[in-house]
Structure 1
Amino acid sequence: MALDADEEILQDFLVEAGEILEKLSEQLVDLEQHPDDSDLLNAIFRGFHTVKGGAGFLQLEALVNCCHAAENVFDTLRNHKRQVDAELMDVVLEALDQVNAMFEQVRNHEEPTPAPDHLIVALDALAQPAEAGAAPTAAPPASPAPEVPAAVPVPESQDGGDITDDEFEQLLDALTEGEAGAAGADNGSPPEASDTAAGGDEITDDEFEALLDQLHGKGRFSGDVVTKTGGGAPASGSVGEGSGTPPAGGDDLITDDEFEKLLDELHGKGGSPSGIASGPASPSGAVSPKQEPPAKPAATPRVEKTEPAKASTRPAAPTRESAPVAETTVRVDTKRLDDIMNMVGELVLVRNRLQRLGADSDDEQMHKAVANLDVVTTDLQAAVMQTRMQPIKKVFGRFPRVVRDLARNLNKEVNLVMHGEDTDLDKNLVEALSDPLVHLVRNSVDHGIEPPDVREKAGKPRMGTVTLSAEQEGDHILLAIEDDGAGMDPNRLRQKAVEKGLYDQDAADRLTDQECFNLIFAAGFSTKEQISDVSGRGVGMDVVKTKIGQLNGQISIVSEQGKGTKILIKVPLTLAIMPTLMIMLGDQSFALPLVNVVEIFHLDLTKTNIVDGRECIVVRDKVFPLFHIKRWLVKGAAAQDTPDNAHVVIVAMGTKQVGFVVDQLVGQEEVVIKPLGRALQGTPGMAGATITGDGRIALIIDVPSLLQHYG
């Protein structure tokens, strides 16, 4: 590896190759389902080829060799010399895993470890046509060979791919040493062909003028074109004779046909600059006696124009007008975006403070200024949040490979369907959701989808379907993982709960079906009889629930035996700024995340009921456990201080709902979450702190943790 490579070049390679490798995993699985898709074959071929080209530039030989071997396989496939099958895809996917591993080593500035020899041998075997004894198909070069004069040999690439730096230098030396006339064209090619061969860039005006000087003698060509005779007609040998009017539009680019016509007028029909350069140039810059110019009419009104002089230099115009558009993107460190988000958060706090002060003022101008600040702050907050947004496709892209590999291991037939891949959410959430979603998808394939023969007996198609979807719902993202498998049996879950000692038999019998489904989130709970490398230890769903709770999200399950299971996850768009319901407990402010709040009502606390030793209320024929959180969170609060009437806030955690008794409702407010100090870190039921609109400090309540610790 070129360890001294320019860091900027290396980063460009990492960004480009990283995006390609992400797509390749999904494309390869898609190819297995659509083996005759030629566009997909070409896209995968180009992907491996592009990564190989970038790795070759950085002298990453191990990465080049593995990509080249995979590239050869897809060249054979797209030439219809072999068919896609599961065994071939197993080898190619293993090669992709090796490429990804080497890519991570390069990202860490380490020398990539070469792929195992058996893998390269297997790829080389697959690169051979399916007919016995046929030679393997070599991968084509990255780009067409540059057009150079026949007298200049083009070095052969050692690996059949891109030429090396040394070979490229040899090519430049050969071009430089040759005569400029011979380098100008090959078999009538345009003058800029030599420049294209040398560097790949279009020639400039000055370079084109120099080329004309080499063809016709220093200063002769341009002088003849612009010099007029006494009568205003061009001198002999002028390019303008018979050339017609210049292209419409004045500064528009000339077409290929117009350029060829210009060459014919310069050198004679079918002639070439090389033929002129080999003979002596005539004093007037006309064609050599060896080539007879076509008969041209006498001077016409068009001949008197000097515009052809512009036409002669027109080939340089594409350099200016077809130049690449300036970059519209810039790479920004995510830490800088986090810092900007924090500053916007502070601005939101100031806005809230000014809104509270403005409400107490009678100054109309003050109200207008605060209203304008509110609008600008809201727009700025939305814009900064948008810069941190990423499509959830970043997470979804790995699932086709996960489902494909797991289905082959379990001998199941599974089809993955994805919806809403372009849904955007906060970058931190994208990263945090990755592991929980992978586990849920694996669970759907392992626990949900039945083996093909079992599905057939149940009247279902042999191939099961797992559906993964995402959509935005207000300021939240709703994710769903659904399968059409066996569903969950509540009675079996009740039995497992009794066996593991989570409930006694009477309590288990009173559990609703929904409560039975929620048992799978208990630590150590699993319905698997045997532990495998996929599942059975009962730790996965517990971790999933904990992770979703840390993201201020909710998770719920809907299942029907024999029909399938659907797991719903609801998470906020961003973790930095949270809409909350501000409440008062005594003289202390607290913030309840609005995502947990279901409804609020005023209640006569003398009409509560006691069920299983717990205070409850009945609202619309629904029973809600009632908790006086003031007794938990405010020092000195006692049971005898409970008023006869109070506000009750119904909060939800997944499918469970409870009532919190509060003293006062302040209203809805957007708050910026600040971590607790070292002395308070780990305080049960507290997610952080914030500054309220009146300048006070309020603690943000973590509802699941609060109930788990106190309830």
Structure 2
Amino acid sequence: MAFDADEEILQDFLVEAGEILEKLSEQLVDLEQHPDDSDLLNAIFRGFHTVKGGAGFLQLDALVNCCHSAENVFDILRNHKRKVDSELMDVVLEALDHVNAMFEQVRHHEEPTPAPDELIAALDALAKPAGQAPETSAAVGQREERTADEGSPDEDGGDITDDEFEQLLDALQDEKKSAPAPNAGNKPASDESNGAGDDEISDDEFEALLDQLHGKGQFSGPPETDKAGNDKQGAAVGGGDSNRADDQKTGDDLISDDEFEKLLDDLHGKGGSPTADSARESSASAAGQPEPEPSGTKADKPVEPAGKTEKRAPEGKGGATSTAPAMPARDANAPVAETSVRVDTKRLDDIMNMVGELVLVRNRLQRLGAQSEDEHMHKAVSNLDVVTTDLQSAVMATRMQPIKKVFGRFPRVVRDLARSLKKEISLEMHGEDTDLDKNLVEALSDPLVHLVRNSVDHGIEAPEVREKAGKPRQGTVTLSAEQEGDHILLSIEDDGAGMDPDVLRRKAVEKGIYDQDAADRLTNSECYNLIFAAGFSTKDQISDVSGRGVGMDVVKTKIGQLNGQLNVESELGKGSRIVIKVPLTLAIMPTLMIMLGDQSFALPLVNVVEIFHLDLSKKNIVDGRECIVVRDKVFPLFHIKRWLVKGAAGEPEPENAHVVIVAMGTRRVGFVVDQLVGQEEVVIKPLGRALQGTPGMAGATITGDGRIALIIDVPSLLQNYG
């Protein structure tokens, strides 16, 4: 590989090819469901072709070979010479895996490892039309390879290739062997055949070729009077037409550059090579006269496309002046200015950190402005609040990415897993354009993979079982995303067997998570949440897919780190639904500021359900734990001041207090606090090395009054103290 190539070119290739490969994975799985979709076949063919072209420019031979073989397969498919089936898709998807692996190696500036020879051979075998003779297949393969290597006329701008020109000459010679072509000169047929191997084409042969292609036109030779006039004019100007006339008189068999350019222009329109025109313009300007008109009448000139018409100098004596094209036609071909710029994500993170500091200063000024009676101060602080909020939204928008970057991998995951488990499953996705912070996009990838694999393995039944239960053989897994305020809701739903609460209770007792009495008191909702317990699994047999009770524990831990919530809903025989609620961004967090004694603490607003004032004399004791009853619901009550404030454990209990109901998944508990300060947006600052890992603390922030407040991590707090 040319790693010493321009780094900018390499980065452009990585960006473009990376997007194409992401789409290919989803397109290939979609193709298996819609094998007759011509647009999809063409899109996949173009995807492999584009990646191959970029890899070829960078001399990535291993990547080129694999993409070329896959491209040949889809060329056969889109020409309806072979049908799409599961075995073919297995081979193509394996090829895509190797292409992705090589792409990652290139990203890390490593030499790509070639795909196995067996895989290339399998692709080449699939690139032959079904039921066609081997020699014909070989010829088709050679033609495809030559077309892919040289590029199609559309891709090369319409220029004729050397091979195509040679084929034209061969066709001319074959025609002359069978019957003399008109205006072919006085040469006998034997002379024609003897000269067939000559690489040079004579003027007579060239004229005959044009006559066969287009009929008698401007190249068929002008009348004698016109020729004489042109000779005089050409002698004075030194133009290309006089040279051609001299060549005809002397009997020279060589074709001039001007004539060859005219042939290409006539066949394909104006090409990209300006050599002949520039030569004529320079000779005309040197003689001090305008460019002469080519031989033949003006009416014989081929009409050029409007977009390719050039402004010409005035014609010779007595000639009319060609009109210049309108300005918009020329501007249409002008390059479009770039509207995007590549920015390092670290720079975006730095900008976001600075906006966070600005939010803290804004909060401080708002607190000071509230204490001031100066009207101008109030207006200035209000304006600063508006500008800061807009700036914060704009910077957050630059960090946003569609959830589709996560969802895009799941069609392949579901397809491969369903084939290995011999199940029939379709995947539906909704809300793929929902945006969320790029850090969340990366962090949610692994938890969602675990949840989707869990739905496919545990949720969807085998086709035969579904038929007996009166369901369609094909199960459905639905992935959806939507924005709700400043949070994102993600749901993974299946129409499978659902979960049996009694089975979950029995497994919890077997695993030692609960004793029998405690397990019997669990509600159905609490039973469903048991699947997130460490080491918990309902599978009796451990497989390479599930059974160790690790995946869902990872999901719960990761979602907790993102300040998110998990909720499980299920109905036996109907299916299950898992809902994840995470904040839009991790950088700035809305919180509820509370006071415990004289210390400030911040509760993430995502966990807060409701707030009320409580007469503590009305509390109850259940299983040795304080509880309160609100609207016929029982909530455990915790005095978190005793956990978090030194010396508070021995203080007398107040008669009245504020209670904040917080939620973790389906669990609801009440926190007793001394004072409610209000809602405030805070920037999470990591704790210092000495305090890092403190149970129940997610970080720290600076409040509007300039003090430091600790941010409470509700799940960790209850796990360690509750």
- Of stretches 318-327 and 390-399 in structure 1, the one that deviates more from structure 2 is 318-327
1:675 aligns with 2:686: yes
Cα 1:241–1:129 change in 2 (3 A) is: closer
- Of stretches 568-577 and 496-505 in structure 1, the one that deviates more from structure 2 is 496-505
Residues 375-395 of structure 1: CA deviation (Å, up to 9, x unaligned): 000000000000000000000
Matches of 2:438 and 2:653, distance apart in 1: 45
Partner of 1:128: 128
* SS in structure 2 at match of 1:698: strand
Unaligned runs of 5+ in 2: 168-253
Residues 105-153 of structure 1: CA deviation (Å, up to 9, x unaligned): 0000000000000000000000011114341543443442555578898
8 Å CA contact 2:281–2:291 kept in 1: the answer is no
8 Å CA contact 2:307–2:330 kept in 1: the answer is no
Partner of 1:57: 57
Counterpart residue identity of residue 108, structure 1: H
8 Å CA contact 1:259–1:315 kept in 2: the answer is no
Q: CA deviation at 1:323?
A: 1.1
* SS in structure 2 at match of 1:481: strand
Q: 1:181 pairs with 251, 258, 272, which one? A: 258
8 Å CA contact 1:73–1:124 kept in 2: the answer is yes
Counterpart residue identity of residue 627, structure 1: F
Unaligned runs of 5+ in 1: 157-176, 226-235, 244-253, 267-282, 287-302
1:462 aligns with 2:490: no
Partner of 1:98: 98
1:513 aligns with 2:581: no
Partner of 1:210: 278
Cα 1:562–1:364 change in 2 (3 A) is: same
Cα 1:258–1:439 change in 2 (3 A) is: closer
Q: CA deviation at 1:324?
A: 1.9
Partner of 2:668: 657
Q: CA deviation at 1:322?
A: 1.8
Q: CA deviation at 1:187?
A: 5.4
1:544 aligns with 2:621: no
Q: CA deviation at 1:641?
A: 2.5
Q: CA deviation at 1:210?
A: 2.7
Cα 1:99–1:504 change in 2 (3 A) is: same
- Structure 2 matches for 1:135-154, cutoff 5 A? 135=137, 137-138=140-141, 139=144, 140-141=147-148, 142-144=151-153, 145=156, 147-148=158-159
Counterpart residue identity of residue 494, structure 2: D
8 Å CA contact 1:416–1:465 kept in 2: the answer is yes
Partner of 1:233: none
Matches of 2:30 and 2:47, distance apart in 1: 15
8 Å CA contact 1:358–1:370 kept in 2: the answer is yes
* SS in structure 2 at match of 1:688: strand
- Structure 2 matches for 1:372-387, cutoff 5 A? 372-387=383-398
* SS in structure 2 at match of 1:329: coil
Partner of 1:2: 2
8 Å CA contact 2:159–2:264 kept in 1: the answer is no
- Structure 2 matches for 1:244-323, cutoff 5 A? 256=305, 284=317, 308=321, 310-311=323-324, 314=325, 320-323=331-334
Partner of 1:488: 499
Matches of 1:600 and 1:34, distance apart in 2: 53
* SS in structure 1 at match of 2:358: helix
Partner of 1:193: 270
Partner of 1:351: 362
Partner of 2:19: 19
Q: CA deviation at 1:437?
A: 0.1
Cα 1:258–1:45 change in 2 (3 A) is: closer
Q: CA deviation at 1:186?
A: 1.8
8 Å CA contact 1:221–1:285 kept in 2: the answer is no
1:622 aligns with 2:690: no
Counterpart residue identity of residue 684, structure 1: P
1:413 aligns with 2:396: no
Partner of 1:439: 450
8 Å CA contact 1:181–1:215 kept in 2: the answer is no
1:526 aligns with 2:537: yes
Matches of 1:7 and 1:440, distance apart in 2: 39
Counterpart residue identity of residue 123, structure 2: L
Q: CA deviation at 1:651?
A: 0.2
Partner of 2:31: 31
Matches of 1:219 and 1:476, distance apart in 2: 77
Matches of 2:453 and 2:328, distance apart in 1: 58
Q: CA deviation at 1:325?
A: 1.0
Q: CA deviation at 1:310?
A: 4.9
Cα 1:699–1:556 change in 2 (3 A) is: same
Partner of 1:159: none
- Of stretches 332-341 and 493-502 in structure 1, the one that deviates more from structure 2 is 493-502
- Of stretches 530-539 and 504-513 in structure 1, the one that deviates more from structure 2 is 504-513
Matches of 2:568 and 2:280, distance apart in 1: 77
Matches of 1:97 and 1:488, distance apart in 2: 35
Q: CA deviation at 1:222?
A: 3.7
Identity %: 76
- Of stretches 73-82 and 183-192 in structure 1, the one that deviates more from structure 2 is 183-192
Matches of 2:402 and 2:503, distance apart in 1: 39
Partner of 2:483: 472
Cα 1:215–1:408 change in 2 (3 A) is: farther
Aligned length: 623
- Structure 2 matches for 1:517-666, cutoff 5 A? 517-666=528-677
Counterpart residue identity of residue 501, structure 1: G
Q: CA deviation at 1:190?
A: 8.5
Q: CA deviation at 1:12?
A: 0.3
Residues 462-489 of structure 1: CA deviation (Å, up to 9, x unaligned): 0000000000000000000000000000
8 Å CA contact 2:614–2:656 kept in 1: the answer is yes
Matches of 2:518 and 2:404, distance apart in 1: 43
Cα 1:560–1:317 change in 2 (3 A) is: closer
Matches of 1:619 and 1:648, distance apart in 2: 11
Q: CA deviation at 1:181?
A: 1.6
8 Å CA contact 2:284–2:291 kept in 1: the answer is no
Q: CA deviation at 1:402?
A: 0.2
Matches of 1:315 and 1:369, distance apart in 2: 54
Matches of 2:327 and 2:121, distance apart in 1: 50
Matches of 1:645 and 1:147, distance apart in 2: 86
- How high is the TM-score relative to the length of structure 1? 0.83
8 Å CA contact 1:63–1:102 kept in 2: the answer is yes
Q: CA deviation at 1:261?
A: 12
Matches of 2:684 and 2:350, distance apart in 1: 14
Counterpart residue identity of residue 106, structure 1: V
8 Å CA contact 1:217–1:285 kept in 2: the answer is no
Q: CA deviation at 1:213?
A: 1.9
* SS in structure 1 at match of 2:480: strand
Cα 1:146–1:618 change in 2 (3 A) is: closer
Q: CA deviation at 1:500?
A: 1.0
* SS in structure 1 at match of 2:535: coil
Q: CA deviation at 1:490?
A: 0.2
- Of stretches 144-153 and 622-631 in structure 1, the one that deviates more from structure 2 is 144-153
Matches of 2:501 and 2:510, distance apart in 1: 14
Matches of 1:378 and 1:543, distance apart in 2: 35
Cα 1:217–1:354 change in 2 (3 A) is: closer
Matches of 2:289 and 2:699, distance apart in 1: 80
- Of stretches 500-509 and 628-637 in structure 1, the one that deviates more from structure 2 is 500-509
* SS in structure 1 at match of 2:678: strand
Q: 2:375 pairs with 364, 373, 378, which one? A: 364
Q: CA deviation at 1:606?
A: 0.9
Matches of 2:104 and 2:310, distance apart in 1: 54
Matches of 1:102 and 1:351, distance apart in 2: 49
8 Å CA contact 1:581–1:669 kept in 2: the answer is yes
- Structure 2 matches for 1:492-507, cutoff 5 A? 492-507=503-518
8 Å CA contact 1:385–1:426 kept in 2: the answer is yes
Counterpart residue identity of residue 56, structure 1: G
8 Å CA contact 2:482–2:490 kept in 1: the answer is yes
* SS in structure 1 at match of 2:263: coil
8 Å CA contact 1:586–1:663 kept in 2: the answer is yes
Matches of 1:151 and 1:605, distance apart in 2: 94
1:110 aligns with 2:110: yes
Q: CA deviation at 1:241?
A: 11
